[in-house]
Amino acid sequence: MPEYFSWDHYSDQPYVLKREEKKALRHGHGMDYVKLFLTTLFYFPYLFVKFLFQKERVPKMNISNTFYGLCVNLDKGEEQYALVRELGVTSLQIRFLLHDMANIDAYVSFAKKFGDDKEILITVIQDRAHIEDSVLLKKDMEEVFEKFKDVAQEFQIGNAINRIKWGFVSVEEYLAFYQSVQEVRDEAFPQLKLLGPGVIDFEYHFTIRALFNGFKIHYDKVSALLYVDRRGSPDNRQLGIFDLKNKIKFLDTIVKSAQKANDSIYITEVNWPLSNTAPYAPTSEKECVSETDYSKYMLSYFSTAKKSAVIEKVFWHQLIAPGYGLVDNRENRLRKTEAFYAFKTMLEEKM
């Protein structure tokens, strides 16, 4: 298998793996899936009952602009600096891909140019080489922390860990990966904060396994890529009761019950795919929405997360992307969508 998987530059994610590729990767990991099943079987009923009886928190009256986060990418160009200033965003997330260590200085320079007033989260994207070689991982993570330490204080370790196309075959692999990174942090960079596990979508059995385990790890903050786009509106329900409000409440229940995590949650990715933007849209046209609905759902999502009083930050993914971003950069020009202006107003009025 390759050290990292082929990248789809249209949708900014790895291509979907073929069935035989997934099968080859899963070989020898049967016990990992047994542990996932048993952990879910043991903890899920208890956590679900606790969720049903958990009282809702009182929304905060005053909320900082740092709550409203935005994802920016090195490969989207320097136009992002002016766009970020126009929006007034102070919380930014930047992906750094471990297989691109040779270009790390470019990522650091890109981050610095946004200015000293920004709170930057660096998301460290895994690859098979670093997953399989803990010595290589520790060596490169020491360089990552050293290079970024004056730019960012928070690092999300791993991304979409429950999708094999992103590199991890099992949660067990992720836990070992995170533990190695934490050892580097603890030894030389104690001031830095680590986030995880970065589970994507409403698949909380992976979150439970990542938070209830025998590894010597601790999450300074819990991260989740809580997409709800396949259900349409954030108010639409899954499994009868789980609209966005209850998905957040259940996630909070899991986090508060876990000894391996502080009671702090970031939603580090969310968006909706836009209609008529193939091949840039990351899903099929069936899940895509109009720019008007995209804007409406975005405002609703941030409002629900804010009212939950348990989410510290929400990062919209992302600033420039034709298939799902706030700005369309096709045809060699920047077109600000309706949602771009809605995002700006949301920050100004703290909606």
Is the pTM for the entire model greater than 0.95?
yes
Residue 33: pLDDT band with limits 50, 70, 90: very high
In whole angstroms, what is the distance from residue 275 CA to residue 34 CA? 40
Question: Which DSSP string do the residues of 249-270 spell out, in sequence order?
Answer: HHHHHHHHH-TTB-S-EEE---
* Domain 18-54+65-349 CATH class label: alpha beta
Which residues, in sequence order, are bridge partners of residue 197?
Answer: 223
Cβ(270)–Cβ(251) below 8 Å: no
- Measured CA to CA in angstroms, residue 203 lies from 161, 162, 212, 247 at distances of 11, 8, 15, 10
Residue 3: pLDDT band with limits 50, 70, 90: low
In whole angstroms, what is the distance from residue 167 CA to residue 288 CA? 26
In whole angstroms, what is the distance from residue 158 CA to residue 165 CA? 13
Those residues with Cβ within 8 angstroms of residue 8's Cβ, 6 or more apart along the chain or in another chain: 14, 15
- Segments making up each domain of the chain, as ranges: 18-54+65-349
In whole angstroms, what is the distance from residue 242 CA to residue 33 CA? 25
Residue 2: pLDDT band with limits 50, 70, 90: low
Q: What is the pLDDT of residue 4?
A: 57
- Residue-wise pLDDT for 123-169, tens only, equals 999 999 999 999 999 999 999 999 999 999 999 999 999 999 999 99
Sequence letter at residue 267: I
Question: pLDDT at residue 58 above 90?
Answer: no
Question: pLDDT at residue 103 above 80?
Answer: yes
